[in-house]
Amino acid sequence: MLELINISKTYNPGTVNEMCLFEGFNLDVPDGEFVSIVGSNGSGKTSLLNIICGSIPIDTGDVRIGGNSIKKLKDFQRYRRIGRVYQNPAMGTSPDLTLLENMSLADNKGRTFGLSAGINRSRVAFYREQLAILGLGLEDKLHEKVGSLSGGQRQAAAMVMSTLTPVDFLILDEHTAALDPKAAETVMELTDRIVKEKKLTAMMVTHNLRYAVEYGNRLIMMDKGRIVLEKSGAEKADLKVDDVLKVFTDISIECGN
């Protein structure tokens, strides 16, 4: 169980740009749940993910995993149990290294990065197999620099890399937003399969309402740092894109957008 307890966060405190994003924010995510998070720009979706991963500090409140506070842990320490895929395909891979080198790095997550050989030849067949599942022909591009691959290919590789070693949580930050519709579909289907196969707890921020409705077993809509719509279980299963869109539009009209 991931718990966000009474989180408060103010940006630029004490200046004219002061902005209170979260005030007494609470959220529980039980193990194995796949949460889709939607909301307009600036509603706090990505900040929420950053607070969980420790990329931005919180003013008050606590973040707990399995009942233990992780508030004191640095970002890189939290990532021992968390895999993350970013919106920008360039962020999940190292462009100057080959695909094989990238896979080898991801494969060693959680272990010591010492002076043994960077590439474990006996794992190459396994990497090929994992990449072949994508159906993008990446298994034949192991020796190419990742920077020369297309955005969709890089994001698919980043997706595989993020869950190559056992993690408990998968954080997806608009990870299909920069891809063309076909590549987005491929990456989204892959995401769903990985989450189900590895029984991960996942949180996915997306602007694609169809993905939010179609995938996952809980949907949250955020606005100004608050949860304004929440559906899970059977309610979530019956949810239509139009229902979500209506709430979304109502909020936007209230804001005068």
Partner 1 sequence: MIWMSVFFDLAIGTLTQGLIYALLSYGVYITYKILDFPDLTVDGSFPLGAAVTAVLLTHGFDPYLTLPVALAIGATAGLITGLIHVKLGVRDLLAGIVTMTALFSINLQIAGSNLIVERAVDTIFTARPTMAVIGALPLIYRKLIISLVMAVVFKLLLDSYLKTKNGLLLRAVGDNSLLVTTLAEDKGRLKIIGLVISNALAALAGAVVCHEQRSFSSTMGTGQVVFGLATVIIGITLFKKLGFVKGTTAVMIGSILYKASIQAAISLGLPANLLKFVTAALFLMILVVGSRQKGGLKDA
Contacting partner 1 within 165-194 (CB under 8 A): none
- 152: tokens are 């969709």
Question: Quick check: helix, strand or coil at residue 39?
Answer: strand
Phi, psi for 119 (deg, rounded to 5): -115, 125
Burial class (CB in 10 A: 0-12, 13-18, 19+), 3: middle
Which residue in 86, 127, 169, 248 binds partner 1 (CB under 8 A)? Answer: 86
Question: What is the DSSP secondary structure assignment for residue 257, as one 8-state letter?
Answer: -
Question: Quick check: helix, strand or coil at residue 218?
Answer: strand
Which residue in 16, 117, 234, 253 binds partner 1 (CB under 8 A)? Answer: 117
In the shown chain, the binding pattern of residues 149 to 168 toward partner 1, with x for contact by CB under 8 A and - for none, equals -------------x------
Helix (H) or strand (E) holding 221: strand 218-223
Which residue in 28, 62, 96, 214 binds partner 1 (CB under 8 A)? Answer: 96
Output the smallest distance, CB 207 to partner 1, in A: 21
Can residue 143 be called a binding residue for partner 1 (CB under 8 A)? no
Output the smallest distance, CB 30 to partner 1, in A: 24
Can residue 76 be called a binding residue for partner 1 (CB under 8 A)? yes
CA dist list (Å): 214 to 172, 185, 217: 16, 12, 9
CA dist list (Å): 142 to 97, 103, 137: 10, 9, 10
- Scanning 106-114, 176-184, 192-200, 231-239 for contacts with partner 1 by CB under 8 A, the matching segment is 106-114
Output the smallest distance, CB 237 to partner 1, in A: 32
Binding site for partner 1 (CB under 8 A): 74-77, 79-80, 83-84, 86, 90-97, 101, 104-106, 108-110, 112-119, 162
